[in-house]
Amino acid sequence: MKKTIGLVAILILLLPGLGFSDAISVRLAYFIPRAQSELWTIEFENMSFQKSDFQNASLGIYYEHFFSREISLLVGLDAYSQTRLGSYRDYVGYSFAEGDFAFPYKYYDGDFDISHNFSVSITPIQASLKLTPLGRRSGFIPYIGGGVSLYIWNVKMRGDIIDFTDEWVYDDEDLGEVPIYGIYPTEARQESRFSVGFQGFAGIMFPIASRLALEAEFKYNYGKGSLGDTFEGFDGFDLGGYQVSVGVNYWF
């Protein structure tokens, strides 16, 4: 996937040399995932990390082709990824001859924490129409736009998971029969999936030289991807989110 992202970025940078002379933007963004699908929800309900732990900075690059003073085509990409290590909130682990088992944290101290890494990478390649109502010759330049996104994404989980379908009963002399669950190592990967979504944005540019402007933008992304056989039984994975970015726009 890194090769694909690199090739797209190189193409964007080379477009001016191919006879297209419009504008290039480089942006530093902060991405906030919506995280509203089943796998996201289960992870946040069970693990010690939170939604805010998956907010992260990203870098974007865009090429802009002008159709007129007010309308242009914007093509580019943003690259987001985040990995967090979390432990199960309500369970601790014990090892027995039969294997490792999860016991309720409220009753037991445990021999070890049950933890795994959860990794998400989302790279939307975007094509949008951009409307600049006041043109590009004013002291400030508001704009809006939107379009389609091709998401290149992956999800990974590495470490220990509790299998809540593998229920055992532990006979505790004080508590009686206590349900416990098997713990198993996992290295689940859903890599290099492609999905289609859309995005909309609004922003403003402030010219600081004849061909150079600073820009600030808010963007909403929407997309869902199929998790396939790797995470069988889960619904579509939420790829969307909210993005705030600042950058530099250079006109050729």
Q: Compute how many other C-beta atoms are within 10 angstroms of the C-beta atom of residue 96.
A: 10
Residues in the chain with pLDDT values less than 70:
1-21, 192
Within a domain: 149: yes
Instruction: Report the pLDDT value the prediction gives residue 8, as an integer from 0 to 100.
Output: 47
Counting every residue written for the chain, the total comes to: 252
| Range(s) of the domain holding residue 214 | 2-83+118-154+190-251
69 is a domain residue: yes
Q: How many domains does the chain have?
A: 1
> Does residue 146 sit within a domain?
yes
For 222, residues 6+ apart whose C-beta sits below 8 A from its C-beta are: 197, 198, 199, 239, 240
Cα distances from 237 to residues 190, 195, 208, 241, in angstroms, run 11, 10, 41, 12
Task: Encode pLDDT of 40-54 as tens digits.
Answer: 999 999 999 999 999
- Evaluate whether residue 71 is within a structural domain: yes
| Residue 38 covered by a domain | yes
pLDDT at 21: 55
In a domain, 91, yes or no: no
* Residue of 15, 33, 36, 32 lying closest to 24 (CA atoms): 15
- 93 lies in some domain: no
Q: Strand (E) positions, the chain?
A: 23-33, 56-66, 71-87, 91-96, 99-104, 115-131, 141-172, 176-209, 212-222, 224-225, 237-238, 241-251
Cα 151 from chain centroid?
A: 10
Residue 175 falls within a domain, yes or no? no
pLDDT at 147: 98
The CATH number assigned to the domain holding 60 equals 2.40.160.20
pLDDT given for residue 218 in this prediction? 98
